[in-house]
Amino acid sequence: MNDKISSEPNCADPTDPASISVAEALERIEQRVLPVHACERLPIRECLGRVNNEAVKSPHSVPPLPNSAMDGFAVAIDSLQKDGITELDEVGAAYAGNPFAGSCASGQCVRIMTGALIPEGTDAVIMQEQAEIGDNGKIRVDADHRVGENIRQAGEDVKQNEMVIEAGVRLSPADLGVLASLGIGQLQVKRKPVVAFFSTGDELVPVGEPLEPGKIYDSNRYSLHGMLSRLSVDIIDLGVVRDDLDSMCEVLTRASAQADLIISTGGVSVGEADFIKPALTELGTTEFWKIAIKPGRPLTFGQIGASVFMGLPGNPVAVMVTFSQFVLPAIEVLSGARMRRPSLFRAQAMEAMRKIPGRTEFQRGIASLDENNRWQVVKTGKQGSGILTSMSRANCFIVLPDDNAGVEAGDEVSIQLFDWSH
Ligand code: AMP
Ligand code: MG
């Protein structure tokens, strides 16, 4: 008889042949999640953070007509002397919103303010700091000027019919300004996805109730609430669900009637109290993914009716890691936006970091800029997947790829700065 117990692949193993990579999990999410279909037309102020549904082409040029970029004098360049000083008669003034009505002849100039239309007969604006008023009241300018000087040409920002905002773009404050500059007051955007979430676990007690032995407070629903609230989604908090199959099936059925995406935490392992898998098998289609990451290896992905289901692990840090790496991209696709991968920056590790090859690790770090404006990073102490303060103290993930076998102080590592709203 063997004197050792052979174990199945488990969370403590550095490698597990059945695990898929982060990149593969993202590819599957991109393939399987479908964007919401419905759209709504909204005033542009309400479109911030929403996903544009129809490409916007500009109905006219911006600026519509040439105007001055400076306060100064509008002149015709070929009416200036080739060398030396020219004296010009000031024949009027042009203000932003109040053009000069006449036309400017040779030997004349028009006083002009920033934003005012370029008067007829002129082709340059000489800024007031480069002109003098002579004793005779004439405007004196030198020969050192060229056609088009200090003029904002029509269409130099946007040309008529030019594509300005493509479909699938999440609208930024600058986009709202660009739309307004085109006179577009309303836009068709995708409706917000509805995201329902719940915690599972007989040990969980909601905040506000006393803690009996063996119980812990439910923290996952609060970190999830925080991460989801920053997004352009409607959220439904379904509370804590007990560890039994009936309760699990009941809440999943209710959630799938209301939500485009259902997120649960806990109950996705292979313990006797882990009911997410059996519930999903009963109600929908399911894929159980083991992803080669730490923390957060087990993740359930599936479909219940028209809803996407993502069953995250229970450990509080694993919840936040899997949310940031997989749920956020899934929400992007669901919202009708292009899936974005988180940006990585290079940083110098200020301390050694232990790591066994086999999985991508998301250690929690504090990144700062050194005196040369280069990123440097330290860990936030203990890195267990239950140590949630390692997240709250951090401002970045230190991403150590599958094949990394540990880091020495001074080595270069990749960091992902936290930005829960993308
Ligand atoms: P599970 O995957 O359900 O076995 O959970 C793994 C670990 O995470 C256990 O120690 C749980 O007590 C803990 N955990 C699960 N859900 C939560 C939660 N909502 N808040 C805090 N800890 C949790
Ligand atoms: Mg549990």
Pocket test for ligand 1, best of 265, 299, 385 (most atoms within 8 A of CB): 265
Percent of the chain at pLDDT > 90 equals 90
With a 6 Å cutoff on the Cβ, whether 216 touches ligand 1 is: yes
CA 302–ligand 2 middle distance (angstroms): 19
With a 6 Å cutoff on the Cβ, whether 188 touches ligand 1 is: no
Give the phi and the psi of residue 39 in degrees, each rounded to 5.
Answer: -130, 165
CA 383 remoteness from chain centre? 26
Pocket test for ligand 1, best of 10, 198, 200, 216 (most atoms within 8 A of CB): 216
CA 203–ligand 1 middle distance (angstroms): 8
CA of 298, closest atom in ligand 1: 2
With a 6 Å cutoff on the Cβ, whether 220 touches ligand 1 is: yes
Chain segment 167-214, per-residue pLDDT in tens: 999 999 999 999 999 999 999 999 999 999 999 999 999 999 999 999
Residue 9: what pLDDT?
A: 58
Chain segment 91-147, per-residue pLDDT in tens: 999 999 999 999 999 999 999 999 999 999 999 999 999 999 999 999 999 999 999
CA of 271, closest atom in ligand 1: 4
CA 263–ligand 1 middle distance (angstroms): 14
With a 6 Å cutoff on the Cβ, whether 219 touches ligand 1 is: yes
With a 6 Å cutoff on the Cβ, whether 363 touches ligand 1 is: no
CA 223–ligand 2 middle distance (angstroms): 17
Task: Give the E-state strand segments of 215-277 in sequence order.
Answer: 216-217, 234-241, 261-265
CA 379–ligand 1 middle distance (angstroms): 23
Are 333 and 385 a contacting pair, CB within 8 Å?
no
Residue 306: what pLDDT?
A: 96
Type of residue numbered 397: F
Taking CA atoms only, the protein residue closest to ligand 1 atom 5 is 314
- Cα diameter, the chain: 115
3-state class of 271 per DSSP?
Answer: coil
CA–CA dist 329, 60 (Å, integer): 35
Residue 17: what pLDDT?
A: 74
Would the pLDDT of 14 be above 70?
no
CA of 269, closest atom in ligand 1: 2
CA 265–ligand 1 middle distance (angstroms): 7
With a 6 Å cutoff on the Cβ, whether 223 touches ligand 1 is: no
Residue with the bigger pLDDT between 88 and 7: it is: 88
CA 273–ligand 2 middle distance (angstroms): 6
Say which residue the tokens 């860990």 belong to: 379
CA 3 remoteness from chain centre? 54
Taking CA atoms only, the protein residue closest to ligand 1 atom 6 is 314
Residue with the bigger pLDDT between 4 and 369: it is: 369
CA 185–ligand 1 middle distance (angstroms): 47
Collect all residues with Cβ–Cβ distance below 8 Å to 75 and sequence separation of at least 6: 88, 104, 109, 122, 123, 124, 125, 126, 141, 145
With a 6 Å cutoff on the Cβ, whether 311 touches ligand 1 is: no
Residue 421: what pLDDT?
A: 42
Residue 398: what pLDDT?
A: 98
With a 6 Å cutoff on the Cβ, whether 414 touches ligand 1 is: no
Task: Extract the tokens encoding 391.
Answer: 């997240």
Confidence of residue 218 (pLDDT cuts 50, 70, 90): very high
With a 6 Å cutoff on the Cβ, whether 204 touches ligand 1 is: yes
Q: What is the pTM (predicted TM-score) of this model?
A: 0.91
Residue with the bigger pLDDT between 339 and 351: it is: 351
CA–CA dist 389, 392 (Å, integer): 5
Type of residue numbered 393: R
With a 6 Å cutoff on the Cβ, whether 376 touches ligand 1 is: no
